[in-house]
């Protein structure tokens, strides 16, 4: 499932940790001074994948 930017509805690349707010790169850059505070969507997907794989074992 593709996450969408809450501002412009483009495909999101960043999200706020423990939140359902997601942003595309352009909107994230515009609204946040330091993007390192945001979590990349790809990182979140990898964490979820690892959890699922551990449970399947």
Residue 54 and residue 57: Cα distance in Å, rounded? 5
Q: Please tell me the predicted confidence (pLDDT) of residue 24.
A: 95
Domain segments of the chain: what residues? 14-56
Distance CA 46, CA 50 (A): 6
pTM: 0.69
pLDDT score, position 26: 95
Q: Is 21 helix (H, G, I), strand (E, B) or coil?
A: coil
15 near 22, Cβ under 8 Å? yes
pLDDT by residue for the chain (57 residues), tens only, comes to 789 999 999 999 999 888 899 999 999 999 998 888 788 877 777 777 888 888 887
């Amino acid at each position: 499932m593709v996450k969408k930017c809450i501002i412009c509805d483009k495909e999101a690349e960043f999200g706020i940790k423990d939140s359902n707010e997601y942003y595309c790169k352009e909107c994230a850059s515009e609204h946040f001074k330091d993007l390192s505070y945001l979590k990349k969507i790809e990182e979140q997907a990898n964490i979820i994948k690892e959890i699922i794989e551990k449970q399947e074992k």
